[in-house]
Structure formats: C-alpha cells, structure tokens
Structure 1
Amino acid sequence: MTERDRLPLERRRLLGLLGAGAIAGLAGCSGDDDEADDEDEDGTDERLIEPNMEHPGDDPVDFTGDQDCPVCGMPPTNYSRWNAQLAHEDGTGAIFDTTGCLFAYVAAMASDSPIENAWTMDYETRDLVDATEAHYVLITDETAVDDPMTINPRAFGDEDDALEFVEDWDAEELTEDDIIGLEDVDRDVAMIYRASRI
C-alpha cells in the first residue's frame, strides 16, 4: 500500500471521529441531567432540587446577575418577564428564571421546610405577584410560543385575566380546568414543563 492509498482512510477516520464527537456534544446539550439518571433510595430516578440561597422570607429579594436557577442553572436576569422566587420557613429559598422552573422546584423540592412565601411575574402586567395566590394557565403547545426553556405556564395575579387568556388562546383548546393554583402543582404537572430536569 502506498502513502497515497493510506490518506483517504486516515481522512475517513478523522471525519468519523469528528462526527462522533459532534454527536456526543449535542447529546450533552439536550437538557438531560446526569442527576436525573441516578436512582434514589426508593428505586426511582426522580431528582430532588435543593434551595440555593438564603431568603429573608417576608419580601421578595431583587433579581441579580449572580443568581442561578436551581432547576436549570440559568440566571433569572436573562428572562425578567418570567421570574419567580420562593422562601422557606427555615430561611432558605430559591430564585427561578421561569415559571416552568418554579413548578419543577415545587414538585421536586428537597427541603422539608414549608414554603413561607412565593412570588412570580404576572404574565400580563409584568408585576411581581403572590405566587401562592396566582392563577396559572397550563399551556402545552410548544409550537405556539417562543418561551425560555421551551414552554412555561402563564401566571396571572387576577383570575379574570387568566380566564381571558384561556378564551383568547387559539393554539390549543383550553378550559377553566387548565387554570390551577401553586398548591395544585405536582410532578405530573411539572413534567409538562421540565421533564428533563426532575
């Protein structure tokens, strides 16, 4: 075999390795979390999410660029329209870049300390409202929106605003049953928005 005959094989090998590396890199960006693959003590593969900050509890704290969402790791300041936060009775808390991440945390929180207070951005007014009193519209059509993290529930401080949104939403058939409170969020609901994170 001559030197010239070996070159195409080496080029093919290099291209194959580059292709395999690209596929592995894309798989790492797919949103699957290694922690989600680990089985818990009870034999399930459900991830629990820890609070990631101290929180005074009485009032919301400012959203800053040095905070990260405990669910997805993104800073909340990147998505100010979607921010949420909560405080536990033990003085810990968490800040979220989106309402979808808030749902994931509520459904999979590791803390045994009850939630003392929570706040979320109203989808219409863009004001911070009491997340425990808010009304969340469960949209599920990913193709109809351009949300951070693919898709997020819509939070409204006023129930009438949530009902109006349901009536005006054309992408899918929604009813009053698609409006829930934070107390109704469980793992099944959170999986709509962050299946790869919990």
Structure 2
Amino acid sequence: MRYLLGALTVLMLCITGCNTKTSDQGNTETETTSQVNYDCAFCGMPSQEYPKWNANTTSQDGTEKHYCSSRCLFVAITETKEMAESLKTVNVTDYYTLKKTDGKSAYYVSGSDITGPMGKGFVAFSSKEAADEFSKDHNGKQVLTFEEIDLEAVKASIED
C-alpha cells in the first residue's frame, strides 16, 4: 500500500509539473491552454467541414475567429465599419486551389450558380483572372474586392 501511495504521489507531481512553467524570475505559474474553436463565429456550423469555403480572421488583440464561408465572414464583419477595420488578418480559401489567401487582397464573385454551406454568397479567389473566369463560367453577377463588400453587397449576394 505504501508503494502504491508513493507511486500515485510521483504521478501527481509529474502531471502537475506538465501544466506549470517557470518564468524568467523563477516563479512557477500555471499555464493555461486554450483550444481554438473552429465552429463558425457567425452561424455556429463546423467550419472545418467546408474546406472549399472556410475563412478566418485575427483581430488586433490576437483573437482568432473561424467562419464556414466568406458569406458568414462578411455578414459578421460588415455589421459595423469598425469591425472590419479592427482585423489584423483575414484569410479566405481560394475556390480553385483550396489554398488560404489574404482575404483583403482576394476577389469575390457574387451571384453565381455555385452555393456554399450557407447558400448563396461570395466565392473567393486569389487572382482577378480566376474570379473573372469563374464568374463567366458560373453566371456570376459581379466580381468584388474586399473593400467593395459592405452590408448592401452582402444582402444583394444573398438575393441574387
């Protein structure tokens, strides 16, 4: 019994040691681990299930948010002008390459015959040429830049 108690004590010390770190001053502090929430920050759908569509933002304070589609991204960030301006980074998925691309320099096709996880919205591309080609092939209404998308453009994309 004494050996079991000793083994449990050592195990508890090991577990506790794994969750602490020593600062430069020699103080021991508990390290908090935060899990990234990949559910869409706007609608709650699991964004990782939609690799052709998902997007994410990082605010100036380091807060990261994920979205199931650029539609949800734009609905969320166009509510106020300050919201979009507070973003440090915006990443969207290029529809053709499936690679993350800078959302602030991307091109978005509105009103096409292709729908995302939330229905009609915007299809993102890293180049104007790809967006123009897609728009032509899929009956897109217009190609927009990040700066051109406001709440009215979001409403129009849903109604197209």
Give TM-score scaled by structure 1 length.
Answer: 0.55
The yes-or-no answer on 1:125 pairing with 2:97 is: yes
CA RMSD of aligned residues (A): 2.4
1:153 CA displacement: 0.8
Q: Structure 1 stretches of 5 or more lacking a match?
A: 1-63
Cα-to-partner distance string for 1:112-135 (whole Å, 9 max, x where unaligned): 862111110001111111100000
Provide the residue aligned with 1:99 in structure 2: 70
SS at match of 2:56: strand
The answer to whether the Cα contact below 8 Å between 1:68 and 1:74 also exists between their aligned partners in 2 is yes
Matches for 1:51-130 after TM superposition, within 5 Å? 66-108=37-79, 111=83, 114-130=86-102
| 1:161–1:187 Cα change, 3 Å | same
C-alpha distance in structure 2 between counterparts of 1:139 and 1:101, whole Å: 15
Structure number having the greater strand percentage: 2
Give TM-score scaled by structure 2 length.
Answer: 0.67
Q: Which has the higher contact order (CA 8 A, sep 6+)?
A: 1
1:193 CA displacement: 5.1
Provide the residue aligned with 2:151 in structure 1: 187
Provide the residue aligned with 1:147 in structure 2: 116
SS at match of 1:82: coil
Aligned residues: 123
Q: In structure 2, give the amino acid aligned to 1:160.
A: E
The sequence identity of aligned pairs, in percent, is: 27
| 1:146–1:169 Cα change, 3 Å | closer
| 1:193–1:94 Cα change, 3 Å | farther
Q: In structure 2, give the amino acid aligned to 1:121.
A: T
The answer to whether the Cα contact below 8 Å between 1:134 and 1:157 also exists between their aligned partners in 2 is yes
Q: In structure 2, give the amino acid aligned to 1:189.
A: A
User: Rg larger in 1 or in 2?
Assistant: 2
Q: Structure 2 stretches of 5 or more lacking a match?
A: 1-35
